[in-house]
Structure 1
Amino acid sequence: MAVESETGTTGSRGAAGNRSAAGIPRLAGAPLLGSLADLKADSIGTYLRALHAHGDVVRISAGPPGLRAELHCVFSAEGAQQVLAAQAANFRKDNPFYQEIRDSFGNGLLTSQDEDYLRQRRLVQPLFTKRRVDGYAGAVAAETESTLTAWAQAPAGIVDVADEMTHLALRAVARILFGADVDATVDVVDRCFPVITRYALRRGYSPLNLPRTWPTPGNRRAAAAMEELYAVCDGIIAQRRGGSRDPAPDRDDARAQPGGDLLGLLAAASSTDDGEFDATELREQVLIFLLAGHETTATSLAFSLHLLARHPGVQDRAREEVSRVLGDRTPRAADLDRLPYLTRVLKEAMRLYPAAPVIGRRAVEACEVDGYAIPAGADVMVAPWVTHRHPRYWPDPERFDPDRFTPEAEAARPRYAWFPFGGGPRACIRQHFSMLESVVALAMIVRAYELEAVDTDVPVTAGVTLRTAGPARCRLRPR
């Protein structure tokens, strides 16, 4: 794709100091639609080309005149830290994409803002302490064991790890959310979520949308999926609140008590200042946890297995560590610190394949980011997919190398050279749970099977989360 710079510069930022918005290099596109076609065809590839052509801050225009979006893309670790942390109050989730997620899944922690967000975070935070989350390792291990048992019947010993990890992550988060009600929700979520997320994504990136209330085929399909999804969540919530079960919120492993799953704890969460969640707010939190809790972890697990299958030496080293630390027993939360190499494998997979490849914000007031002036109202994008491949921080960035994440190597890099969980005050509340779930599942899988890549090249697409755009098959050999 052709590129151009309005300032005649390429690559680096140039002299330090404030620059006008007009001085930000611009990626060239078609005369009528700008870079819209490129973004639709391969958004993350387009952002990566923009970095290589123009450097750390680039403007990308997309859409027809009068409806054109102007994206201010920030690719440096320093710039990402300014947007997500140092100047976080000036960058809001006000863009069309987040609005479509709100309209589809509700105003939960992922999408809420201002006092709504602060109240929700205060109510939910006690449920995601390290000690509380560690209590869910048993549920993750149980679902992983079921997956391993099913793999013994895989035709020709081949499985698609993307599909399998989506199923595993969904069952694990549903078990933790709903306890005994997991089977009532998994089928509905598995069927309805893809319909709703594709719909929200298409509308979020379209320059012009028809009202959701118009009876178009797409609107009707999405409305039916939302109605079914809402109904199953509302039914479980009504049963839970109509019963007499005490979620025992003072226990570290709340699942040991009836009703002590995460939904029970959410229903019981309250404080003098913040009150409690009503039924609609509970449903919104549940839907956001389901959305963020299974798709992101599934992506990390799938690509970890894909990369291990392509690198047998790394796989052998990870297996040796798991066997030495665990023997034949089920992994526990306390084992995470004893599996540093497997954790480095996961982190490197999350570098190359971050589940949230792009993060959008909107500037409230004019400001400066990485030496460039950002106007008020600008749509600003930071991109883990790009920053995680920035040659300034990652030599030979496409190479898979878990030893990039030794303590010494991590200490030598800027904090936001790696940010798969976002950052700042809006950093993902479930970071520890995601790492726990992923390491437990990976440990059990590499101990049980040797993996060989059938599909060595797996294309990806950036939707609400990063997803495979083709099969990611591995051949399994039982240990």
Structure 2
Amino acid sequence: MAVETRTGTGTQAPALEGMPLLGSLFDLKADSLGTYLRAQQRHGDVVRITAGPPGLRTVLHCIFSAEGAQQVLASESANFRKDNAFYQEVRDSFGNGLLTSQDEDYLRQRRLVQPLFTKRRVDGYASAVATETRAVVAAWEQAPGSVIDVGEEMMQLALRAVTRILFGIDVDATVDVVDRCFPVITDYVLRRGYSPANIPRTWPTPGNKRAATAMDELYAVCDGIISERRGGAAARGDDLLSLLAAATSADDLEFDAAELRDQVLIFLLAGHETTATSLAFSLHLLARHPEQQARAREEVSRVLGGRPPEAADLDRLPYLMQVLKEAMRLYPAAPVIGRSAVAATEVGGHTVPAGANVILAPWVTHRHPRYWPDPDRFDPDRFTPEAEAGRPRYAWFPFGGGPRACIGQHFSMLESVVALAMILRSYAFEAVDTEVPVSAGITLRVDGPMRCRIRALAD
């Protein structure tokens, strides 16, 4: 495939200062998001960061502007591939699904999956989200001391919702396995993905064995449900797995069992952690800002009254949508996006060489003072239609962008708005933990409690 590039006469990007032999290795390990912010504040929108000893050194070319993000993800996306070591670790653990596949594999998978993510199809999942949210809201009546951890609660809600939509009635057993196995596997991916050198996965070390056991258990559950869906009456269900199992197109054969498992694992990974992060921080930010919380609740009460929310209500709840978008600006579920440059390219006046490891950081771009005045302040009115029209397209890109934009972004927004509306109608929130430490994992990781005191509201 020919790749169109603009090398121009770009200069070498400025480098972030680091240790003489190890560069910024320890800074990135201790606080990668803070390191990227510091790089942009000191050196601008294209910065080199080196990490690791000579011979094992990694050089990151970090691009922080909205215009640069658009170039990498959209206008010159063919020149920036998912070929880095981190994505390979994700492939090796969670399969070659839509998140990680490339070239013809990706195009074939996208053609098969796209019809299952039309707006009309996704809108039909609102009732499943409402069912799981109703159960969570009811359980909070028994919360000790009327205090809950919204991070943990939203992780459970999002996991149960995506599991119900994927598997139908097979919720409880599957949630238990995913809840137990996912943290083991994701921690393993992170350790290997950011290490300058790794031993083979087949060596019988404690870490390898723990990860292999977790993967075997997770794969077995998925394979068992897939086998049921591909035989008998179960295959005629309307859960997402049944639809995936039956998916065909004019140009492609159907998914085989291994490919189905890959898609299911990626949907589980991308479909619950990202939405849980957006929901948790929306609630926590509202808990810290009572005026905005009251405004959002008033809108929900006025629009919905006592009825359950529906997909059509997304357009009728504009302020709630603004709250969600502002939470996703401050706490993007995918805070860092990696690519590998195929050919030398000029970005922002600097040359990104062929083969370079390229980092986009929504965490930084979403705080860029050029697009976001007083960037650390929570202000949902940044997302009125007029305000959005005045910013570059990629000043806000929590779902990525271009041809590899997240296929589930409408589902994520639908789930979040439906859940937030039901929760705010039932409870008022006051933050117990006002600061929440975070770090970059496969998705944004919460490294501390997100406790809120809740008060039940009259119907």
Structure 1 length-normalised TM: 0.93
Instruction: Answer yes or no: is the 8 Å Cα contact 1:35–1:63 preserved in 2.
Output: yes
1:246 Cα deviation after fit:
4.9
Partner amino acid, structure 2, of 1:445: I
1:20 Cα deviation after fit:
6.4
In the alignment, the residues of structure 1 paired with residue 200 and residue 10 of structure 2 have an alpha-carbon distance, to the nearest angstrom, of 33
SS at match of 1:235: helix
> 2:335: which partner in 1?
357
Partner amino acid, structure 1, of 2:323: V
Matched residues, number: 452
Structure 2 length-normalised TM: 0.97
> 1:31: which partner in 2?
20
> 1:334: which partner in 2?
312
In the alignment, the residues of structure 2 paired with residue 245 and residue 111 of structure 1 have an alpha-carbon distance, to the nearest angstrom, of 29
Instruction: Answer yes or no: is the 8 Å Cα contact 1:171–1:182 preserved in 2.
Output: yes
1:81 Cα deviation after fit:
0.2
In the alignment, the residues of structure 1 paired with residue 364 and residue 104 of structure 2 have an alpha-carbon distance, to the nearest angstrom, of 32
Match of residue 118, structure 1, among 89, 107, 126: 107
CA-to-partner distance for each residue in 1:82-105, whole Å, 9 max, x for gaps?
A: 000000000000000000000000
Query: Is 1:297–2:275 an aligned residue pair?
Result: yes
Instruction: Answer yes or no: is the 8 Å Cα contact 1:347–1:405 preserved in 2.
Output: yes
Q: Which runs of 5+ in 2 are unaligned?
A: 1-5
Partner amino acid, structure 2, of 1:335: D
1:19 Cα deviation after fit:
7.3
Match of residue 159, structure 1, among 137, 144, 148: 148
> 1:397: which partner in 2?
375
> 1:438: which partner in 2?
416
Query: Is 1:40–2:18 an aligned residue pair?
Result: no
Query: Is 1:476–2:454 an aligned residue pair?
Result: yes
Match of residue 135, structure 2, among 121, 127, 146: 146
> 1:197: which partner in 2?
186
SS at match of 2:170: helix
> 1:185: which partner in 2?
174
SS at match of 1:398: coil
Match of residue 273, structure 1, among 227, 251, 262: 251
> 1:458: which partner in 2?
436
SS at match of 2:354: coil
Is the alpha carbon distance of 1:21 and 1:223 closer, same or farther for their aligned partners in structure 2, counting shifts above 3 Å?
A: farther
SS at match of 1:416: helix
Instruction: Answer yes or no: is the 8 Å Cα contact 2:113–2:244 preserved in 1.
Output: yes
> 2:365: which partner in 1?
387
Instruction: Answer yes or no: is the 8 Å Cα contact 1:21–1:375 preserved in 2.
Output: no
Match of residue 66, structure 1, among 55, 61, 65: 55
Query: Is 1:217–2:195 an aligned residue pair?
Result: no
Instruction: Answer yes or no: is the 8 Å Cα contact 2:11–2:349 preserved in 1.
Output: no
Instruction: Answer yes or no: is the 8 Å Cα contact 2:130–2:308 preserved in 1.
Output: yes
In the alignment, the residues of structure 1 paired with residue 161 and residue 181 of structure 2 have an alpha-carbon distance, to the nearest angstrom, of 18
Instruction: Answer yes or no: is the 8 Å Cα contact 2:439–2:447 preserved in 1.
Output: yes
In the alignment, the residues of structure 2 paired with residue 101 and residue 246 of structure 1 have an alpha-carbon distance, to the nearest angstrom, of 29
In the alignment, the residues of structure 2 paired with residue 181 and residue 371 of structure 1 have an alpha-carbon distance, to the nearest angstrom, of 53
In the alignment, the residues of structure 2 paired with residue 275 and residue 244 of structure 1 have an alpha-carbon distance, to the nearest angstrom, of 22
> 1:320: which partner in 2?
298
Query: Is 1:413–2:402 an aligned residue pair?
Result: no
> 1:92: which partner in 2?
81
Partner amino acid, structure 2, of 1:344: Q
Q: Kindly report the root-mean-square deviation, in angstroms, between the aligned alpha carbons of the 2 structures.
A: 1.1
In the alignment, the residues of structure 1 paired with residue 45 and residue 412 of structure 2 have an alpha-carbon distance, to the nearest angstrom, of 29
